[in-house]
């Protein structure tokens, strides 16, 4: 059997595609699903193609033909997160730069800093000092309309005083989440999915688990102010970073919203 240049290119392309899929599924928290599918495909190839086991091969062929549907039914959250990571704008930054000027990116960054980052940071600093609990979610590329509808629609301009008033302890909306999208406060008192990650420290409450949950289900970034300690935390990409300073909070938000 002769190996042509096309065969080498085919193998290299398949390996690259497999490695890239592995990286995305690792970032999306679906690595175990990747390993399971990979193991199943290896068994199928060995049984049906190499050993030519007809009965086992035919059974596995049926599973392969229905495999995508089964995976979507059994692992909807992991598939959603995988697709979000696949469509993340930062992965296509090179292509975007071909069609957009660098100045436009700079203007968008400055707009995000002034209209979103600074009001959120200032309000979190004040709420941290008074130990006012807060949970603020900032939309990125994945829409959050379904979560907005679970709370009270506000659709107001972002400003520090409004944020602090919403999370004031006697406010009826202070227990839920505030959702910011398109440079507007879209809703308050919204309900978020709660993370059941066993690695979350026990002293962290429902706000932190909700922030982590929305970061696992979508590509949004969530900011939490602890009511007990006043500590500021950020949840993004399924990772929770706790006890941030005001400078670290501003840097993290600016970096995330710039991607």
What pLDDT digit, counting tens, does each position of 211-245 carry?
999 998 888 999 999 999 999 999 998 889 999 99
Which of 39, 28, 145 has its CA nearest to residue 75? 28
- Return the structure tokens found at 244: 């941030």
Residues 195, 212: contact at Cβ < 8 Å? yes
Q: Looking at the predicted structure, is the pLDDT value of residue 185 above 60?
A: yes
pLDDT number for residue 159: 93
- Return the structure tokens found at 47: 């049984």
- Which pTM does this prediction carry? 0.67
pLDDT number for residue 203: 85
Residues 113, 249: contact at Cβ < 8 Å? no
pLDDT number for residue 50: 77
pLDDT number for residue 98: 47
Residues 37, 28: contact at Cβ < 8 Å? no
Q: Looking at the predicted structure, is the pLDDT value of residue 176 above 90?
A: yes
- Return the structure tokens found at 173: 């909306």
Q: What percent of the chain stands above pLDDT 70?
A: 74
Residues 190, 150: contact at Cβ < 8 Å? yes
Instruction: Report the residue count for the chain.
Output: 259
Q: What percent of the chain stands above pLDDT 90?
A: 41
Higher pLDDT, 88 or 232: 232
Pairing of strands 152-157, 184-190: antiparallel
Contacts of 210 (CB under 8 A, 6+ apart): 135, 177, 192, 193, 194, 195, 222
Instruction: Express each pLDDT in 92-128 by its tens digit.
Output: 555 455 455 444 455 555 666 678 999 999 999 999 9
Q: Looking at the predicted structure, is the pLDDT value of residue 200 above 90?
A: no
The secondary structure element, H or E, covering residue 11 is helix 5-27
């Amino acid at each position: 059997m002769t190996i042509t240049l096309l065969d080498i290119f085919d193998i290299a392309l398949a390996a690259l595609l497999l490695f890239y899929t592995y990286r995305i599924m690792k970032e999306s928290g679906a690595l175990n699903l990747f390993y399971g599918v990979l193991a199943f495909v290896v068994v199928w190839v060995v049984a049906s193609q190499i050993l030519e086991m007809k009965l086992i091969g035919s059974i596995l062929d049926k599973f392969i033909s229905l495999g995508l549907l089964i995976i979507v039914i059994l692992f909807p959250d992991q598939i959603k997160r995988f697709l979000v990571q696949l469509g993340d704008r930062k992965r296509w930054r090179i292509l975007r730069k071909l069609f957009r000027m660098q100045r436009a990116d700079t203007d968008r960054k400055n707009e995000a800093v002034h209209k979103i980052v600074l009001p959120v940071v200032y309000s979190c600093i004040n709420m941290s000092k008074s130990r006012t609990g807060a949970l603020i979610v900032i939309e990125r590329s994945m829409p959050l309309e379904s979560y907005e509808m679970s709370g009270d629609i506000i659709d107001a301009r972002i400003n520090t005083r409004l944020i602090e008033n919403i999370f004031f302890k006697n406010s009826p909306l202070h227990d839920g989440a505030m959702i910011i999208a398109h440079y507007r406060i879209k809703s308050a008192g919204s309900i978020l999915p709660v993370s059941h990650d066993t690695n979350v420290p026990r002293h962290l409450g429902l706000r932190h688990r909700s922030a982590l949950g929305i970061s696992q289900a979508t590509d949004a970034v969530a900011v939490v102010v602890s009511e007990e300690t006043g500590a500021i935390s950020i949840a993004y990409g399924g990772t929770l970073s706790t006890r941030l300073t005001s400078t670290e909070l501003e840097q993290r938000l600016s970096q995330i919203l710039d991607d």
